[in-house]
């Protein structure tokens, strides 16, 4: 028995750096042994129930101290000894109440509120005392976070949460897929039910508890009624059971017309009218059935009358009447309804109406209802008025419903922001929104103080983060994306924290205490949002992605001409949404006066939101002195340029962090560097084409190192006009003439003899894995398969791009592979043989022959 156990332990060690442990690695710190004398030798956890978070705290402390310092501690569960503190050094961890019961009152602990804790590392006994059990566990994780960062200083302080609601939302479907998830299958659901093995769910709860998240809504806001079957509620109770020791509660999203849907084991009604008595009792029964199984159930999340979902408006009832359908039955149990403000009509909005505006919808719907929601209803508001865009102003709704509880909805998953295949640290964006002063009644009204309940004196409020973790070892699909989950928890607890401090704590815990690594990851992460904004859509025009398809690659045209309302109103001369009161949609007027006036006037609107609020000519001169169109060009080039530097930066970390994670992230940075050029070229060409205004720097439309595939000698390949046109260099690609036979594209290289990097831009489509061979004068330079696993160097490890896949030759599938240090003799023949597979006709766009350091 011993040997297999030892083997297991060893293999656990070697696979520990796959990302699964997140920031809870408890990696040994340098000089650990020196600390042994000053570390406690015992842990006294003042609770012996294995489902108590206090018990978990005891286990976690033992595990952490052993792993970080190599020091074993004895753990005692329950009051030990009773009456007076133990005679040996210890960590005493428990609720303040349990501590007082066992050892008498402490006088120096400030007031703690729900989830708060006291941490004192002074003296012989470290005290970790929570206002409740969950708070106790938070305190234990705080102490371990200090230790894991090598901080053994003496501290004594209390910490309290800024807001009571700190939830994640998971958009998991019952079949195991995840909407806008980029890290594999669900950890909760498969085949219409709850998975049997909930190990990952428990590990997730552990990560969440360490960042003080107190509930998870486990299923998609686009919910499925069958979750409410008795059998699935049993499964839900199993999830609650594995969450409970971590102080994490379960909540669910509801499908509004569930009573009229087929739910196994439940009566089906002919109506879902919220004022109908049979409907009310239907929901009453569901709520009772849930609480019978899960007494600490958190509550419901409701997406109603949004994007085709049914809701109270279907019966001409108000949204408040709809919310009451759930808040009433939840009240006796202390449950909460998170009612989403993401309500808009996506079918009849007409762009030819200059005053039409999707951004107006939330305030139009909810302001008249302010005061009509029950006390246990929280209006969950996306940070911006549209939809998780790279730049939006804070939603005015935060300031407009002072008599309602509110929460801010943030996205941790990067739906519109690179889908975990582009680096993006969200926290600076969140912070900008949270720090926005909306000036309600001409008084300081920061978004963070509104959602905490402080500004308008509301009992409830807080944070919902759309996380969408999956079965992938990295949880979110890439190692660096996990800084977002970590930062979400940290900011939800205390939004005044500095986003660089948060990031650096995360980096130390996730990677290393080595300052050069911390500096590099800080620089990359802090540059990531500006870079992405610059190459995907600057000046407040929003993420110019394909909003009708995958929300991933560039497609500016998809924004307009449809009723989704994410319009740019771009024509040959001008661009931007006029949201003024004087001449536009009136949206600016939804803000309290001072803010409304600022956005109303072009002179006081910040440049980074110019096109969000105003419609201007491309020649309009910005505060920076540059025209709108030239700024488009300049920033798209600057953003893509920054993305190239991430590769160099990450390369500098080789050997400083484990190879496994280093290689995986390098793969992503190389990919991003290539795809940022796709973005840059698509957006600049699109507006160049539309406006006819040349780039003053002569870059747009001029690519000196490129050989277009369509200009090569083709055999078995044919020209293909790409749609949207801007997704191909020179608007044209080539595809094989048949979907079974290989094609060849060749050309003589008219370059001085020397060493070059050769980049090949091709398309990696869903539904096929074409094969390519690149050779120079018949010597093979490289070969690769187009299967979302682009190679770097000579690596063979299977690494997958988790972004939404596209079945077309377009901006999502466009991708670049680069071969470095290739020797060329003038006149050499470059040849690419592409073998199609399935629906993928080995598409090729161009080849760039690059002198070292060139980007083209
Ligand atoms: C976005 C997202 C959808 C999601 C919706 C929502 O539109 O693309 O996948 O369902 O937001 O938040 O409800």
Domain harbouring 775, CATH code: 2.60.120.260
Relative to the CA of 466, which ligand 1 atom is closest? 12
* Residue 175 designated active-site: no
Given the residues 307, 374, 560, 601, the one annotated as active site: 307
Within-domain flag for 419 = yes
Beta carbons within 8 Å of 494's beta carbon, 6+ residues apart: 159, 161, 162
Residues 274 and 309 in one domain: yes
Residues 153 and 270 in one domain: no
Let me know: does 804 contact 415? Beta carbons within 8 Å. Answer: no
Residues 656 and 723 in one domain: no
* pLDDT, position 434: 98
* pLDDT, position 798: 57
Residues 663 and 734 in one domain: no
CATH classification at residue 466: 3.20.20.80
Residues with CB under 6 A from ligand 1: 179-180, 221-222, 303, 306, 342, 387, 415
Taking the centre of ligand 1 as the mean of its atom positions, its distance from the CA of residue 233, in whole angstroms, is 25
Q: Which residue has the tokens 């160099």?
A: 648
Taking the centre of ligand 1 as the mean of its atom positions, its distance from the CA of residue 425, in whole angstroms, is 20
Beta carbons within 8 Å of 33's beta carbon, 6+ residues apart: 69, 70
Percent of the chain with pLDDT over 90: 93
Let me know: does 734 contact 710? Beta carbons within 8 Å. Answer: yes
Let me know: does 319 contact 373? Beta carbons within 8 Å. Answer: no
Pick the last residue of a domain from 691, 715, 739. 691
Taking the centre of ligand 1 as the mean of its atom positions, its distance from the CA of residue 272, in whole angstroms, is 23
Within-domain flag for 412 = yes
Q: SS3 for 114?
A: coil
Neighbour-count burial of 290, counting CB atoms closer than 10 A to its CB (0-12 exposed, 13-18 middle, 19+ buried): buried
User: pLDDT by residue (tens digit) across 766-776?
Assistant: 999 999 999 99
Residues 215 and 346 in one domain: yes
Given the residues 415, 449, 600, 810, the one annotated as active site: 415
Relative to the CA of 409, which ligand 1 atom is closest? 12
User: pLDDT by residue (tens digit) across 495-521?
Assistant: 999 999 999 999 999 999 999 999 999
Within-domain flag for 235 = yes
Peptide bond into 724 cis (omega under 30): yes
The total of other beta-carbon atoms located within 10 Å of residue 728's CB is 31
Within-domain flag for 198 = yes
Look at residues 703, 830, 819 and name the one whose alpha carbon lies nearest to residue 758.
819
Relative to the CA of 180, which ligand 1 atom is closest? 9
Residues 415 and 496 in one domain: yes
Peptide bond into 81 cis (omega under 30): yes
* pLDDT, position 14: 36
Residues 718 and 628 in one domain: no
* pLDDT, position 792: 57
Relative to the CA of 382, which ligand 1 atom is closest? 12
Over residues 664-679, mean pLDDT = 96
Beta carbons within 8 Å of 468's beta carbon, 6+ residues apart: 170, 171, 172, 178, 179, 180, 181, 182, 183, 412, 413, 476
Residues 244 and 258 in one domain: yes
Residue 177 reports pLDDT greater than 70: yes
Who has greater pLDDT, 9 or 422? 422
User: pLDDT by residue (tens digit) across 593-627?
Assistant: 999 999 999 999 999 999 999 999 999 999 999 99
Within-domain flag for 594 = no
Taking the centre of ligand 1 as the mean of its atom positions, its distance from the CA of residue 429, in whole angstroms, is 19
Taking the centre of ligand 1 as the mean of its atom positions, its distance from the CA of residue 349, in whole angstroms, is 18
Residue 249 reports pLDDT greater than 60: yes
Residue 15 reports pLDDT greater than 50: no
Residue 12 reports pLDDT greater than 80: no
Kindly report the backbone phi and psi dihedral angles of residue 850, in degrees, each rounded to the nearest multiple of 5, phi listed first.
-110, 130
Pick the last residue of a domain from 663, 691, 719. 691
**CA 228 to CA 470: how far, in whole Å?**
23
**CA 674 to CA 761: how far, in whole Å?**
8
Which residues form the domain of 273?
165-510
CATH classification at residue 62: 3.30.379.10
* Residue 415 designated active-site: yes
Residues 114 and 252 in one domain: no
Within-domain flag for 587 = no
Pick the last residue of a domain from 89, 124, 159. 159
Within-domain flag for 604 = no
Residues 96 and 198 in one domain: no
Within-domain flag for 647 = yes
**CA 297 to CA 290: how far, in whole Å?**
7
Neighbour-count burial of 346, counting CB atoms closer than 10 A to its CB (0-12 exposed, 13-18 middle, 19+ buried): middle
The total of other beta-carbon atoms located within 10 Å of residue 394's CB is 24
CATH classification at residue 650: 3.90.1330.10
Residues 328 and 203 in one domain: yes
* Residue 307 designated active-site: yes
Q: What is the DSSP string of 395-443?
A: PTHHHH-TTSEEEEEEESS-TTTTTTTS----HHHHHHHHT-B--GGGS
Residues 284 and 425 in one domain: yes
**CA 20 to CA 536: how far, in whole Å?**
31
Q: SS3 for 542?
A: coil
**CA 810 to CA 605: how far, in whole Å?**
35
Supply the pTM of this predicted model: 0.97
For the chain, what is the domain count? 4
* pLDDT, position 408: 99
């Amino acid at each position: 028995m011993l040997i297999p156990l030892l083997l297991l332990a060893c293999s656990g060690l070697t696979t520990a750096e796959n990302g699964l442990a997140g920031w809870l690695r408890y990696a040994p710190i340098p000089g650990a042994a020196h600390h042994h004398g000053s570390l406690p030798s015992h842990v006294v956890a003042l609770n012996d129930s294995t489902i108590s978070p206090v018990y978990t705290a005891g286990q976690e402390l033992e595990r952490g101290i052993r792993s970080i310092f190599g020091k074993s501690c004895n753990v005692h569960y329950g009051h030990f000894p009773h009456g007076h503190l133990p005679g040996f050094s210890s960590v005493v961890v428990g609720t303040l109440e349990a501590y007082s019961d066992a050892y008498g009152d402490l006088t120096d602990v400030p007031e703690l509120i729900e989830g708060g804790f006291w941490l004192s590392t002074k003296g012989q006994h470290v005290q970790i005392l929570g206002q409740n059990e969950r708070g106790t566990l938070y305190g234990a994780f705080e102490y371990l976070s200090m230790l894991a960062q090598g901080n053994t200083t003496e501290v004594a302080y209390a910490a309290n949460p800024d807001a009571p609601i700190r939830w994640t939302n998971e958009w998991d479907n019952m079949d195991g897929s995840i909407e806008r998830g980029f890290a594999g299958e669900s950890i909760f659901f498969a085949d219409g039910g709850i998975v049997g093995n909930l190990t990952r769910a428990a590990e997730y709860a552990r990560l969440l508890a360490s960042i003080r998240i107190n509930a998870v809504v486990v299923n998609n806001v686009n919910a499925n009624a069958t979750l409410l079957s008795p059998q699935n509620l049993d499964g839900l109770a199993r999830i609650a059971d594995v969450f409970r020791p971590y102080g994490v509660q379960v909540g669910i999203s509801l499908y509004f017309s569930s009573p009229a849907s087929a739910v196994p084991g439940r009566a089906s009604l002919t109506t879902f009218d919220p004022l109908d008595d049979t409907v009310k009792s239907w929901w009453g029964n569901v709520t009772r059935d849930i609480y019978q199984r899960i007494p600490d159930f958190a509550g419901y999340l409701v997406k109603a009358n949004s994007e085709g979902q049914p809701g109270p408006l279907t019966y001409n009832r108000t949204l408040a009447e709809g919310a009451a359908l759930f808040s009433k039955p939840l009240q006796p149990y202390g449950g909460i309804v998170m009612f989403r403000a993401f309500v808009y009509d996506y079918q009849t909005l007409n762009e030819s109406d200059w005053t039409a505006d999707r951004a107006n919808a939330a305030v139009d719907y909810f302001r008249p209802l302010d005061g009509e929601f029950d006390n246990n209803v929280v209006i969950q508001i996306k940070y911006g008025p549209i939809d998780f865009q790279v730049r939006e102003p804070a939603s005015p709704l935060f300031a407009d419903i002072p008599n309602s509880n509110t929460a801010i909805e943030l996205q941790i998953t990067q739906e519109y922001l690179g889908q975990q295949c582009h680096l993006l640290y969200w926290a600076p964006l969140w912070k900008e929104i949270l720090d926005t002063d909306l000036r309600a009644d001409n008084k300081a009204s920061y978004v963070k103080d509104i959602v905490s309940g402080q500004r308008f004196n509301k009992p409830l409020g807080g944070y919902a983060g759309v996380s969408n973790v999956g079965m992938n070892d990295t949880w979110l699909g890439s190692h660096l994306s996990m800084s977002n989950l970590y930062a979400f928890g940290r900011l939800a607890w205390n939004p005044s924290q500095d986003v660089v401090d948060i990031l650096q704590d995360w980096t130390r815990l996730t990677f290393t205490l080595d300052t050069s690594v911390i500096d590099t990851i800080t620089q990359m992460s802090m540059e990531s949002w500006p870079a992405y904004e610059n190459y995907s859509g600057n000046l407040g025009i929003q993420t110019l992605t394909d909003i009708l398809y995958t929300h991933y690659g560039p497609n500016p045209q998809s924004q307009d001409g449809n009723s989704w309302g994410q319009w740019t109103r771009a024509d040959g001369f001008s661009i931007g949404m006029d949201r003024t009161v004087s001449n536009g949609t009136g949206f600016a007027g939804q803000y309290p006066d001072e803010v409304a006036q600022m956005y109303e006037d072009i002179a006081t609107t910040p440049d980074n939101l110019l096109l969000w609020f105003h419609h201007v000519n491309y020649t309009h001169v910005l505060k920076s002195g540059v025209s709108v169109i030239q700024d488009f060009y300049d920033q798209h080039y600057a953003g893509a340029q920054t993305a190239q530097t991430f590769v160099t930066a990450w390369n500098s970390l080789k050997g400083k962090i484990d190879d496994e994670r280093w290689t995986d992230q390098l793969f992503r940075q190389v990919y991003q560097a290539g795809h940022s050029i796709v973005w840059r070229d698509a957006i600049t060409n699109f507006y160049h084409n539309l406006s006819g205004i040349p780039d003053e720097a002569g870059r747009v439309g001029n690519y000196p190192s490129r050989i277009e595939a369509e200009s090569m000698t083709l055999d078995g390949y044919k020209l293909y006009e790409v749609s949207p046109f801007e997704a191909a260099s020179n608007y044209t690609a080539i595809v094989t003439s048949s979907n079974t036979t290989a094609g060849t594209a060749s050309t003589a290289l008219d370059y001085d003899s020397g060493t070059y990097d050769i980049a090949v831009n091709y398309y990696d489509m869903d539904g096929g894995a074409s094969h390519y061979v690149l050779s120079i004068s018949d010597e093979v330079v490289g070969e690769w398969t187009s299967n979302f696993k682009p190679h770097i160097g000579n690596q063979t490890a299977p690494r997958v791009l988790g972004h939404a896949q596209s079945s077309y030759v377009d901006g999502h599938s466009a991708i670049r592979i680069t071969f470095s240090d290739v020797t060329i003799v003038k006149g050499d023949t470059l040849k690419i043989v592409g073998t199609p597979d399935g629906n993928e006709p080995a598409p090729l766009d161009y080849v760039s022959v690059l002198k070292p350091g060139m980007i083209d």
